[in-house]
Structure 1
């Protein structure tokens, strides 16, 4: 039995252009297709390809968007349409999925259920690490400006992910879970107290890269993170707001302020598309390598064993201290001894002094007297 040929689709960049020309967000297009917004993002970035009914529906919708765009262009309405959108809508309708990493590998549709081979937890973790870690190290470098801290943050985030792998594996977006953990670790204010991070690292060799990184590091951490997620990673505005734990208007204000600050220092980067390209160039210029996934898993397991043994040792010490306290504690109540009180009216005790002449004579007489008393008179018979 021969399969029918797949419905042709435009290139990923053309799919994104058609959606933006129709002033549709990825979420709106996903609702029309009955899929998730991250699925539409993956289709527009080329990370995956729709199949089956989703492919046919997507192709028909793109064809209708192309026809409606051509009609609007012929009527001269294309230029006036974008003037009615608000600031939030403009931000939401900007570039779809733009990653700092190079073009990632493509994932194909899973085989049928009867032929599917399931991955072990270690294999699934290694696949997630291989897909996300290289780009995440470069993103974290833009966030902190420190190479060693970027590698440490990503490694610590994946160690935490391996410790909580059942939770991460069920997450709708495991990459976002790890990215949020890495950003939180990298932006922790306690790193400034560590001796290894007190001295600044050598800046990038290129002058323009050094100027852009310096402009990023002068931004407040919330604005820097929002700018990197939106203009660097390519998240849309609601997703950026959710990952930074802020409302959508707050995320929009942070993004606008960050763009203004960067444009003030570097006027040539006032265009968001150019800023996105420069962020990718600066991140790719540094040779930042992540450790192997096996080392990350072993490190996570060592940390888990260490904390488990520490908890067991603390529990044993607590039990021993409690038992010693119970063994040495008194079994009955003993009232405390009251403090002594001074007795009034008693003459002070005087030590005996030397004897006088009369006392010596009296002592001599007493010693000469019989010690047994007078002689006993015995009766006699007459």
Structure 2
């Protein structure tokens, strides 16, 4: 094993890219400060926080130490000593007859020990007696399907209402949430260890719901009918008039209750950009509601939270499918895509083999097509002399007249 491999193994695993950015902003560190401390450029730090690359070697150790959260000091819990009934009677005397408070549960009576000599090594108390009920419940093993079903039952209905406020389309909201949970079940080993599984699913649902490709679908081309109540209808129209990024930021801050660093990490924007979107969205909504414009920022956030919640609860949003159906649909889609990939690879191999089998083994130049050629006299046979031929014939005749005599062979 090389030295670099040993150093990487000694460094604790880095958190997810979104968690890296949250930890950096929680310590009030900028990208330039982290880059200067680690010895890289700002673009490299940004690629680490977006998940495109990961640090290695010495830089990985420095980066992990730089963004490591502060260890929380837990107060030591002092357990009260177990007092038997006989000891309480001896110590308290007449006061022991006072009844116990009704809020506290009575301790189970302990069996009296027989009068015998104490053993040299007393046996340890069984674990089941010293363990509390909460610890026993935490140690109970939960299957992945049960954990997924619990997350789905706790977050899916509210997430459908949030997505409806984001898109204004009930069917698209339900489809987005179900699609996000299907994706979460396909990547459940990653989602289960995430710091905020509900936030992971929420981000996936919002990204799917805000996709511009839904405009090409006839069912999602136009938003649903607005609410009939004037106040809720005005808020509904004000939300849909906002750009999608501003609407999402307003919903996450005043509707869900996230902080600006968390919103910036989820929307893949900087914290100042998220704050600017929030202020612009609030100003646009406050123009239609005078009571929001005159309120303080804290009171304005509380009013928006109440009105957004009232709008989401007042509208009839379709209930998502059961968790078992979502898991089954995710598995069927994964199985279908796997079979399609295998079929595509098999088809590609067959076409390649057929091409290799039918391809020629040597090159045969193609025969050029025939062309008509002009200006070439035909072979043999008398033909009419042209003017140039006649001129040449005359010139030759005149030159022979003044030249040497021809030699004529004679018979001897």
- TM (normalized to structure 1)? 0.62
Instruction: Give how far 1:347 is off.
Output: 5.2
Instruction: Give how far 1:301 is off.
Output: 1.0
Q: CA–CA distance in 2 between the matches of 1:54 and 1:228?
A: 40
Select the residue among 126, 137, 152 that pairs with 1:129: 152
Counterpart check, 1:236 vs 2:239: no
Q: Contact 1:157–1:178 (CA<8 Å) still a contact in 2?
A: yes
Distance 1:162 1:207, change over 3 A: same
Q: CA–CA distance in 1 between the matches of 2:244 and 2:372?
A: 72
Match of 2:350 in 1: 320
- RMSD, matched Cα: 2.7
Q: CA–CA distance in 1 between the matches of 2:269 and 2:360?
A: 58
What are the equivalent positions in structure 2 for 1:299-310 lying under 5 Å apart? 299-310=329-340
Distance 1:342 1:216, change over 3 A: closer
Higher RCO, 1 vs 2 (CA within 8 Å, ≥6 residues apart):
1
Q: Contact 2:161–2:173 (CA<8 Å) still a contact in 1?
A: yes
What are the equivalent positions in structure 2 for 1:1-382 lying under 5 Å apart? 34=72, 53=75, 110-112=134-136, 116-270=139-293, 271-288=300-317, 289-340=319-370, 342=372, 344-346=376-378
Match of 2:408 in 1: none
Instruction: Give how far 1:110 is off.
Output: 5.0
Q: Contact 1:219–1:258 (CA<8 Å) still a contact in 2?
A: yes
Q: Contact 1:138–1:283 (CA<8 Å) still a contact in 2?
A: yes
Secondary structure at 2:351's aligned position in 1?
A: helix
Distance 1:140 1:55, change over 3 A: farther
Q: CA–CA distance in 1 between the matches of 2:255 and 2:77?
A: 29
Q: Structure 2 unaligned segments of length 5 or more: list them.
A: 1-25, 28-68, 79-131, 294-299, 382-412
Aligned residues: 254
Instruction: Give how far 1:117 is off.
Output: 1.3
Q: Contact 1:33–1:54 (CA<8 Å) still a contact in 2?
A: no
Instruction: Give how far 1:200 is off.
Output: 3.5
Q: CA–CA distance in 2 between the matches of 1:260 and 1:55?
A: 49
Match of 2:109 in 1: none
Q: Contact 1:145–1:217 (CA<8 Å) still a contact in 2?
A: yes
Distance 1:185 1:348, change over 3 A: farther
Cα displacement string for residues 218-271 of structure 1 (whole angstroms, at most 9, x for unaligned residues): 001110000000010000110011111110000000000000000012222342
More deviation in 305-314 or 173-182?
Answer: 305-314
Q: CA–CA distance in 2 between the matches of 1:314 and 1:171?
A: 34
Instruction: Give how far 1:188 is off.
Output: 0.6
